[in-house]
Structure formats: structure tokens, C-alpha cells
Amino acid sequence: MAHAHHTALPILSIVLLCTLAASPLAQASSALAVEKGCYSCHSNAFHPNAPSFEQLAERLAKRRGEADAEDQLVNELRKPRPLGRIPPHEQLSEDSARTLVRWILDGAH
């Protein structure tokens, strides 16, 4: 039985470390995405036309180092599109849009 104790402890520490490693900022941003209803389309299997946040993060990863990527994406996201308007995008405040864009640019974890 001593064996079980020896294996359980390292596993527990790994779980604990992973929990601590998730940054408070990333947690706040994904909570904001929940609060703003982003998940009713993104990362929702019933909305196949909206890319998942993982897909968006992958697509945007190449712009991570660009100086004005964040500003451009914030503007694009909030700008009304004549075809296929997305009110939850348009209704974001600049601050919320910036927080969410930054979160996606950082990998949307």
C-alpha cells in the first residue's frame, strides 16, 4: 500500500502546479468571453460558421509580434459589417474588445 502513496503525491503536485500556472489575466479574459456571450457562437459545435477560439488564436498567432495588430483587430471586431452583422462584436466597448483581442492573440487559454 505504501506504493500508492508514493505515486499519488507527484500527480497531485502536477495538478496543483497547472492550476497555479494559469494566469489570473487569462482567467479574467475567458470569463469576460463567457459574460459577453462569445461562446454561444465560438467554440460551439452548433455554430460551425464561427471559428473556435483555438482556431482564431492559431490564425492570429502570426500577428503576435506586429506593433499595430492589436489596434487593427479591435477596430475590425467592433466595425459594423454591411453583410452578416454580428451585434455581440459591435456592442463591445473598446476596452472589452482590447482585453478579448489580447487574450486571443496570447493563445486564448
Amino acid identity of 24?
P
Classify the phi-psi angles of 88: left when phi > 0, otherwise alpha if psi is within -120 to 50, otherwise beta.
alpha
* Closest CB 64 distance from ligand HEC, rounded Å: 14
* Of the candidate residues 27, 40, 55, 93, the single one contacting ligand HEC (CB under 6 A): 40
* Closest CB 87 distance from ligand HEC, rounded Å: 7
- Per-residue binding letters, 3-22, with ligand HEC (x by CB under 6 A): --------------------
Is residue 57 a contact residue for ligand HEC (CB under 6 A)?
no
The sign of the dihedral angle between the CA atoms of 12, 15, 18, 24 is negative
What is the C-alpha end-to-end distance of the chain, expressed in Å? 38
